[in-house]
Amino acid sequence: MHGNNDTTGAIRGVETIATGLKWKRLREPLTVVGEVDAAVREACWELGATVAASLMES
């Protein structure tokens, strides 16, 4: 989740929707406030890899 100042409300909204759909959390939310740099891109890649691996296990 990327926000200019804060991501709290957006995270809460996504968690509410995910709970309603009975989805399980694979990792803590990835939140970014401000500029996106190489470390953020790496964290996004890791999150994507985690999701892909979990789908292969299903």
User: What pTM, to 2 d.p., does this model score?
Assistant: 0.78
Measured CA to CA, the distance from residue 44 to residue 49 in angstroms comes to 9
- The confidence score (pLDDT) of residue 47 equals 95
Q: Domain map of the chain by residue range?
A: 2-57
Q: Which DSSP symbol is given to 21?
A: T
Average pLDDT over residues 35-51: 96
Q: Is the pLDDT of residue 57 over 90?
A: no
Structural contact between residues 51 and 23, judged by C-beta atoms closer than 8 angstroms: no
| 3-state SS, residue 22 | coil
Q: Is the pLDDT of residue 36 over 90?
A: yes
pLDDT tier, 32 (very low <50, low <70, confident <90, very high otherwise): very high
| 3-state SS, residue 52 | helix
